[in-house]
Copies of this chain bind each other. A is one copy, B any other.
């Protein structure tokens, strides 16, 4: 599969397989291609459907996540897709595949994490499937959420002149992962990590889907495009640019850098931007808003105790992403540093 990336594969597998008439009759509003699907639940209500898989050695290893974290993050990554549509998560199904010899205690800890995250976001776990597998432990979490009619936030809604925003710090999850891979600790050896490590490990193992920010964006009425950061800022901005047929300039000096990320990157001799642009799994939201509405939106966020950073602008320059560097140079930004079909390095996928 090394010659094909995930999006091309999705197009290949799903393209032209069902008629538009069937999709319309079933009530599909937005099908394959965004963070989640949008369907008509009944007159007056739209539902959001999404699922995410995490499998051992591809998306996590025992040295990068404790069992309870695995469950928490599997639920969080699916809930985040609902946040990225501006919706409210309501129900979840959990499919678990267990290799022979899996300890019941391990599975119990994973489920405690799944439920901890679900309960935190008001999600009722209503079913699922459990089965044996010849292979590694694998979890697929399906989440069903709700949104108002026509209110779901798509990647494709950016317009020229929009401001581009991010709802919080990026790159911390990838830095936490780097630390954990380097330490090579078994989970029994984990203790309290010192600053600046603790918040980075927390960001990697316990990401928080931005449901409240997504709701605020939807209620504001001004948010246009929206995406969650699962694959790194560069990749998410490319998705918005391509889906909307626009270009995006991101301003290096406007990208917020967490102190702990700066300190860790410096100690590693790395540029924090590498983590931010290509790290992924932060589950913050990035999106666009008409430039004239950005300040008011920031004030709404401030009133709610949430950050909102304007980090760039939508331009008319085709459909690519560029970085306006602090030194004044404008450079094209590559799509991604990581594609989970081009090598299983443990950093995880969509």
Contact = CB atoms under 8 A, between A and B. Distances in A.
A140 B340 CA distance: 19
Interface in A102-130: 102, 104, 107-108, 111-112, 115, 118-119, 122-130
Interface residues of A, number: 79
A10 interface: yes
B129 A350 contact: yes
Contacts of A118: 18
A219 to B, nearest CB: 19
A133 B139 CA distance: 11
A127 B142 CA distance: 11
Contacts of A13: 107-108, 111, 130
Contacts of A14: 111, 125
A127 B93 contact: no
A300 interface: no
B341 A129 contact: no
Contact of A1 (B28, B93, B132): B132
Given A90-B27, A131-B53, A95 B140 contact: yes
Most chain B CB inside 10 Å of its own CB: which residue of A14, A31, A45, A128: A128
A31 B44 CA distance: 25
A252 to B, nearest CB: 32
Interface in A36-78: 36-37, 39, 41-42, 44-45, 47, 49-53, 55-59
Closest 5 CB pairs of A and B: A135-B135, A37-B126, A26-B124, A17-B115, A140-B140
27 contacts: A1-B98, A1-B104, A12-B108, A18-B118, A18-B125, A22-B122, A26-B123, A26-B124, A27-B91, A31-B125, A32-B127, A36-B127, A37-B93, A39-B124, A41-B41, A41-B42, A42-B44, A49-B144, A51-B127, A51-B129, A51-B140, A53-B129, A53-B140, A58-B131, A131-B349, A133-B135, A133-B138
